[in-house]
Every structure is written in structure tokens, then in C-alpha cells.
Amino acid sequence: MRAAIVGAGIAGLACASRLARAGLDVTLFDKGNRPGGRLTSVSFDGMTWDIGAQYFTARHPDFKRQAEKWVDAGVAAPWPEGPAAAIVGLPTMSSLIAAQCEQMNACFGKLVRWLDRDDEGWFCCGSGFREGPFDVAIVAVPAEQAAPLLSLHDLMIAREATLVRSVPCWTVMLAFDQPLSHRASLTDGLGVIATAVRSSSKPGRGKAECWLLQAGPEWSSAHLENSREDIAEKLLIEFSTLCGARLPSPIFSKAHRWRYAVAHGGAGTAGWNDALRLGACGDWCHGPTIEDSWRSGDELGLRVGKALRIGRA
């Protein structure tokens, strides 16, 4: 049997792993040009920034086992200078995704705009392509993107997606040619700058003086349509105030807007239509953390595998 998963993020890959272990031939489609999603990282000229999730923690037994596998494989490590029990990807957060994608049939640069279904099965369709047929279709993208894909086929799951509200986040990458007097990272979620992370405080990042700033949701919402240049300038000023000292001019500064950064109001479980063999998973289904996303995909994969075994029986 064949399964298509739209979205090669942490949830989609967790679901793909379960389905592959159940014997399905899985293909993932992702609009990005490379692995990452909300674990996206940027690296060049010896400088590195994790521009999405900064770390993760593992509390649920199943996810603890997965985290231990990542650590044993050398693609994750504890972050002693971060929050309690924080773990980061090695050498970047996106390494967690890239390592899994290497073991999967993942197609990047393919934006699935709609799903078709006929007597043969499911088809993933976009500009210039129509891939299929597949026996199972899974949507593992943010709620705002999932709703239109689901709405033509399952109004109930689509409705759950439309009830979710995602808050934005402006992120700024900074690099300096000298160490800053302010050395500690801040990840308290408060103030204009909710997170300020010194990249070299994470294992495997090198010694370049790189900082990643993430604005709080209220400030990001209020300045959502500002230019990237304006956001970079404003958050640099806020960072200078936070440090309590005049900062040297950065040698690199660039802003990135996450329009759908953190989802709230999900149903608490992944969606599955057994009759259509259509499902949905992601942080909007379960919760906003990396662990929540992974558990959403993992639990859906288990559910689909069980449903297919019962169906074949």
C-alpha cells in the first residue's frame, strides 16, 4: 500500500516512520527546498542560526525513547546553557529533519495545492504535477494551510483546523565581529524579545558571535506587515536595551517572519477518516511543542496502521 504525506516536518516524518514500519510505501511532499520546516536553520561562512524552534524537551516515554535515539545517532545533544532539560539538534536543529529525510522518499520544492480522490485513490496535485495514486493521504502542515486541503473531503477535520489560531513571530539573525559583554541566552517568552539565543552556547555551533532574536507574539502581531529591514533595526535596538550596553554594529542582520509560528486551540488529537483513509496531524492537532508535533504524527501513524490491518483482515 502507498501513503502520501503533505509536509515533511517533525509530525509528517513521525507519521511516515510509523507507516513505513507498518509496511507502507511512503512519499512525503514539502513546499520547501530543503528539510527544516519549523526546525529550519541557516548556516554560512562559519555562522549558524536556528531560526525556528530553539530546542526541545522530552517528557512522554515514547518521545523520550526517540530523543535518546537521536542523541545516540549523534544528531542531538543536551544544551547545558539552555532551559532545564533542553535538547538541541546537531549541528543544527534542522539536522533532526534532514537525518530522517535521508531514510524516506521525500520530495522537496513541491507545493501541494489540492488533493484529488477517485476510484484509484488519492492524488497530490500542484503546479505542473499530479502524483499518485495513493491508498492513504495525510496532511501534516500548519492549520491555515491544512484547512483548504481537507475541506473538500472531510468537513469535520477541516473545521478543527479552521478553529485553530496561530500567532506570528518575527525572528532576527545577528552576527558580530567581536564577543558581546552580554553572554547569557534568554528564553523566557516575555517582553518584546521573547527569546535571545547566543548560537555558540549550543553544542556543535562553532564560536562565531551569532545571536538569534525572536519577538513576542503581541509585538510580532502588531508589526506583522513591517518590512524586514525595519524589524531588524527595531529588534536590534531592543536587544541593545536588553543587554544594557551599546552594541557594536552587526556584520550580518536579517529578519525572517513566521506568519504561523505557534498554534493554539487544537482538538488535542490527530484527525482520521477511516472511510476515506484521510488524516491530519501537526502541532495544531496536539500542542505547540516539538514533542507535541512528534506525538501527533506518531499516534496518527499507529492509528492508521491499526485501521489498515483491520481493514485487510
pLDDT digits (tens, 9 = 90+) for 292-309: 999 999 999 999 999 998
Residue 276 shares a structural domain with residue 211: no
Cα 270 to Cα 151, 169, 205, 215, 311, distances in angstroms: 16, 25, 35, 29, 20
Tell me what pLDDT residue 191 has: 76
Give the highest mean pLDDT range of 104-108, 239-243, 309-313: 104-108
Q: 279 or 166: whose pLDDT is higher? A: 279
- What interhelical angle do 155-163 and 143-151 show, nearest 10? 160
pLDDT tens, position by position, 196-240: 999 999 999 989 999 999 999 999 999 999 999 999 999 999 999
Tell me what pLDDT residue 313 has: 44
* Span 237-255, average pLDDT: 91
Residue 31 shares a structural domain with residue 178: no
Residue 155 shares a structural domain with residue 223: no
* Span 47-58, average pLDDT: 94
Q: Count of domains in the chain?
A: 2
Strand ordering across the sheet containing 114-118: 114-118, 121-126, 129-134
* Span 240-266, average pLDDT: 88
Q: Does residue 51 sit within a domain?
A: no
Q: How confident is the model at residue 141 (pLDDT cuts 50, 70, 90)?
A: very high
Query: Which contacts (CB < 8 Å, 24+ apart) does range 215-219 have?
Result: 215/169, 215/170, 215/171, 215/172, 216/189, 216/190, 216/191, 216/192, 217/167, 217/168, 217/169, 217/261, 217/262, 219/170, 219/192
* Span 185-203, average pLDDT: 85
Mean predicted lDDT score pLDDT of the chain: 92
* Span 78-92, average pLDDT: 94
Residue 215 shares a structural domain with residue 195: yes
Q: 20 or 190: whose pLDDT is higher? A: 20
Q: How confident is the model at residue 77 (pLDDT cuts 50, 70, 90)?
A: very high
Q: Does residue 71 sit within a domain?
A: no
Cβ count within 10 A of residue 189: 10
Tell me what pLDDT residue 311 has: 55
Domain range for 8: 2-40+96-164+266-312
Question: Residue 236 sits in a domain of what CATH number?
Answer: 3.90.660.10
Residue 22 shares a structural domain with residue 159: yes
Q: How confident is the model at residue 188 (pLDDT cuts 50, 70, 90)?
A: low
Tell me what pLDDT residue 265 has: 65
Q: Does residue 73 sit within a domain?
A: no
Residue 163 has pLDDT above 70, yes or no: yes
Tell me what pLDDT residue 208 has: 93
Q: Kind and range of the H or E element at 70?
A: helix 61-72
Residue 312 has pLDDT above 60, yes or no: no
Question: Residue 121 sits in a domain of what CATH number?
Answer: 3.50.50.60
- What are the cell numbers at 265? 486551540
User: Is 97:13 a contact under the CB 8 Å cutoff?
Assistant: yes
Last residue of a domain, one of 222, 238, 263: 263
